[in-house]
Structure 1
Amino acid sequence: MLKTKIGIITVSDRASAGVYEDESGKAIIDTLNEYLNSEWTDLYEIIPDEQDLIEKTIIDMVDNQNCCLVITTGGTGPSKRDVTPEATEAVCDRMMPGFGELMRAESLKYVPTAILSRQTAGLRKSSLIINLPGKPKSIRECLSAVFPAIPYCIDLMDGPFLECNEDVIKPFRPKNKIKANS
């Protein structure tokens, strides 16, 4: 049986240049390891804040590497170099604004500057792409808010069935879909 592939992209000029170690991408991997019981493998990239490179990396992970889920971290703020949402929108067939709305609402419980975050989500082919903020603590907060919807979203796109560790996170699936793909 093939392992589910999940793309993780850290967007950071400094981490990609080796100025500091990437903690954000590793935080996503650690969180997904806690959430998922399904066998999965990560395709992990650290790239600079360059819109064309972000777009090419997302496209490769979806179109060529067959990732059902691509999660980015970083590049969602208001600075001129923060272009991850623009890159995501450029490569998506349809946007899923509810993800960004919920992540900002969750983050506002902790910091008033959450309104400055521009994370978003969208669909490309049969894959879900989600932008997370760049801080590991914020990654955990945002993923815990939106993750319950992710497995069912992937189900609806005929993606792999993501079995979750329900002692840690409870995904939402309609009762008639719970074992449909298992």
Structure 2
Amino acid sequence: MTVQTARIGIVTVSDRASRGEYEDLGGPAIRAWLEKALVSPWEPVARLIPDEQPQVEAVLRELCDEEHCCLVVTTGGTGPAVRDITPEATEAVCEKMMPGFGELMRSVSLQFVPTAILSRQTAGIRGQGLIVNLPGKPAAIADCLNAVFPAIPYCIDLIGGPFLETDPEVIKAFRPKAK
């Protein structure tokens, strides 16, 4: 049996980082977390783009439809500022929204900062891809992935994606036991 290499999109949505005004720390933080957590073969497909809704939508469609990413993790653009449009772009391209991801991420983040209620993270499904919006702060990225990732491999199973196996010493994926 050959194991399929999962493709995982990592998208940083930031005007300033996309212009080179500061270093993208969010995308590398996601990649580093995934490198520790996943033991099954996977390859990153990274993008760094400005907070422009049509461009974010186009990249999300490209990663799901053309690059065949089973998971797309975004960072940035989830706050209340005028240019924060990542959740709107995600909702525009998804067939099904998965609001439990955002609810859990905000709940976990509230343990660290009272402003977590300002975050609008969400998740949704496009075809055989799960899109998850994370905050832009690298420390919050790890907190949120630690909270939601146990459900991600099973969600990807349910939508017909490749089998993602995690290192249980880092994060234990939940899959129901067969009866």
Using the size of structure 1 for normalisation, the TM-score is 0.96
Pairwise CA RMSD: 0.9
Deviation at 1:126, TM superposition (A): 1.0
- 1:113 counterpart = 2:102: no
- 1:176 counterpart = 2:167: no
CA distance in 2: counterparts of 1:168 and 1:79, whole angstroms: 34
CA distance in 2: counterparts of 1:143 and 1:93, whole angstroms: 23
SS in structure 1 at match of 2:62: helix
Gaps of 5+ in 2: none
Structure 1 segments, 4+ long, off by >2 Å, are: none
For 1:77, the equivalent position in structure 2 comes to 79
Deviation at 1:111, TM superposition (A): 0.3
SS in structure 2 at match of 1:129: strand
CA distance in 2: counterparts of 1:176 and 1:4, whole angstroms: 24
Deviation at 1:175, TM superposition (A): 1.3
Deviation readout 1:8-49 (Å, 9 max, x if unpaired): 000000100001110100000000011100110000000000
* Counterpart selection for 1:104 from 102, 106, 123: 106
Deviation readout 1:83-126 (Å, 9 max, x if unpaired): 00000000000100000000000000000000000010000011
For 1:138, the equivalent position in structure 2 comes to 140
The alignment of Structure 1 onto Structure 2 pairs a total of residues equal to 177
Q: How does 1:1-182 map to 2 (within 5 A)?
A: 1=2, 2-176=4-178
Deviation readout 1:37-95 (Å, 9 max, x if unpaired): 01100000000000000000000000000000000000000000000000000000010
For 1:180, the equivalent position in structure 2 comes to none
Aligned letter for 1:23? L
Deviation at 1:176, TM superposition (A): 1.8
Gaps of 5+ in 1: 178-182
Q: Is the 8 A contact 2:5 2:162 kept in 1?
A: no
Q: Is the 8 A contact 2:51 2:84 kept in 1?
A: yes
SS in structure 2 at match of 1:46: strand
Using the size of structure 2 for normalisation, the TM-score is 0.97
